[in-house]
Amino acid sequence: MKKSLLKIALVFTVLLVGSNAFAQDFQGKAYYMSKTTMDLDEFGGRDMSPERKKQIQERMKSFLEKVYILTFNKEESIYKEDEKLEAPGGGGRGFGGFGSSLTGGPKYKNVKTKELIQDQEFFGKQFLIKDELKNLEWKMGTETKQIGNYTCFKATATKTVDEFDFRSFRPRGRGNDEKKDEEKAKDSTKSGDETSKSDNPMDEIEVPKTIEVVAWYTPQIPINQGPGDYWGLPGLILEINADRTTILCTKIVLNPEEKEDIDKPTKGDEVTQAEYNEIITKKMEEMREMYGGRGGRGGRGGGRRN
């Protein structure tokens, strides 16, 4: 009990010191490394040779490991990828042309007006996804850890997952019934029932409805901001652990000499997230019809287990 009270007192002390230090208008930059793990064995990689598996992992690295920059002030932020030249044959545009739709462009947040605006390209067309900034129901903890020069506190929440969030993609029907599912697939192959499975690779994938999120924030930077669409804590979020993805702050610059304008994205057809997901779904239906006329070859390698 005494330890908990001491930690709570520490939170308030840090908050007071931080608030005084940031009383004047300022701007900051936080650099984040985002890494998503993906087990190829879950997506039909068990039968691959080690060399082939290594090749695919290298191609996927640029898609699963990225560096982002969060530029922020007291009310606004813009979160965008620190783009570098991609090596020839890189996997950043993979997943059958869905790469750009899954990673997204600059994301603008305004914690005062509750605006969330995403710059998004999909199959060569520009969209502007506008939605209300939704807060997670954070459960504040007293556990602390050091990230760089900053004392961080733990908070947890349950988050609803977007149906096209590639970071939580899973093979459909795996888990406890994995063995049974594999046996059915083998029986189907033996009987020559190849056409009974969908030729759209996305049909082999599912996304959980919710995931548990662990955040580490520092009251030393009393800004209600964080990476991606995360926010809502009494301090800048320096680390996020969400399902298979870890987002870790590696560098912070406060009051840089050359300040940047935090402008809202403005180009593209304005849609909500729900409308944008509907557009993706329709495109998938078109691709399903296209793959359907190829005798099942279009879906090979997209999660089918032979």
Q: What is the pLDDT of residues 159-198, one digit of tens each?
A: 988 767 666 666 666 544 444 444 444 444 444 444 445 5
**pLDDT reported for residue 94:** 44
**pLDDT reported for residue 291:** 64
Q: What is the CA radius of gyration of the chain?
A: 22
Q: Please compute, for residue 9, the number of CA atoms within 13 A of its CA located in the half-sphere on the CB side.
A: 6
Q: Please compute, for residue 299, the number of CA atoms within 13 A of its CA located in the half-sphere on the CB side.
A: 24
**pLDDT reported for residue 174:** 52
Q: What is the pLDDT of residues 246-263, one digit of tens each?
A: 999 999 999 988 888 899
**pLDDT reported for residue 206:** 72
Partners of 247 in the β-ladder? 34, 240
Mean pLDDT of 69-76: 96
**CB 26 within 8 Å of CB 20:** no
Q: How would residue 289 be classed by pLDDT, with cut points 50, 70 and 90? A: confident
**pLDDT reported for residue 142:** 92
Rounded distance between C-alpha atoms, residue 212 and residue 138, angstroms = 11
**CB 94 within 8 Å of CB 59:** yes
Q: How would residue 58 be classed by pLDDT, with cut points 50, 70 and 90? A: confident
Pairing outcome for strands 125-132 and 269-271: parallel
Rounded distance between C-alpha atoms, residue 152 and residue 248, angstroms = 12
**Bigger pLDDT: 158 vs 123:** 158
Domains in the chain, ordered, with CATH?
2-169+207-271 (2.50.20)
**CB 188 within 8 Å of CB 118:** no
**pLDDT reported for residue 201:** 53
**Bigger pLDDT: 77 vs 178:** 77
**pLDDT reported for residue 147:** 97
**pLDDT reported for residue 154:** 98
Q: What share of the chain is helix, strand, coil (3-state, %, to 5)?
A: 30, 30, 40
Mean pLDDT of 82-92: 54
Both structure tokens of 125 = 């067309």
Query: How many helices (H) and strands (E) would you count in the chain?
Result: 5, 14
Report residue 267: phi and psi, to 5°.
-90, 140
**In terms of residues, how long is the chain?**
306
**pLDDT reported for residue 258:** 84
Mean pLDDT of 264-272: 92
Q: How would residue 237 be classed by pLDDT, with cut points 50, 70 and 90? A: very high
E-state strands within the chain: 28-36, 65-72, 76-81, 107-110, 115-122, 125-132, 139-147, 150-160, 170-171, 205-206, 210-218, 236-242, 245-254, 269-271
Range in 46-55, 94-103, 200-209, 232-241 the model is least confident about: 94-103
Average pLDDT, the chain: 76
Residue 4: is its pLDDT beyond 80? no
Q: What is the pLDDT of residues 31-47, one digit of tens each?
A: 999 998 876 655 555 66
**pLDDT reported for residue 24:** 54
Q: What is the pLDDT of residues 99-135, one digit of tens each?
A: 555 567 899 999 999 999 999 988 888 999 999 998 8
Q: How far is CA 56 from CA 36, 48, 164, 180, 295, in A?
A: 15, 10, 21, 27, 25
